[in-house]
Structure 1
Amino acid sequence: MIASNASPKAIKPASKPSETPTPTPAAEQKPAATNGASSGSNTRSNNNAQKSNPSNNKSNSNSNTPSPEFVDRVFATVNKERAARSLGTVQRIEQIDTSSRAQSAYNAQINQLSHEGGTDRLKQNYTCRASGEILELVPISYNEQQATDVWINSPPHNKIMFSGDYDKAGIGLTQKGDQYYIAMQFCR
Structure 2
Amino acid sequence: MESEQYEECLMLLKAVADESRLRMVGLMSERAYTVSEMANVFNLTEPTVSHHVSKLHAAGLLRLRMEGNQRFYSINEKRLATLKAYVNGIEKLPTRAEKAKLDTAWIEALEWSEADKKVLRDYTANGKLTQLPVKTAKFLVVLKWLLTKFEPGTHYTEKQVNAILGSAHEDFATLRRSMVDYGYMRRERGGGDYWLTPEDEKSS
TM-score by length of 2: 0.27
Highest relative contact order (Cα 8 Å, sep 6+), 1 or 2? 1
TM-score by length of 1: 0.29
Task: Say which structure is richer in strand.
Answer: 1
Larger Cα-atom Rg:
2
Task: Say which structure is richer in helix.
Answer: 2
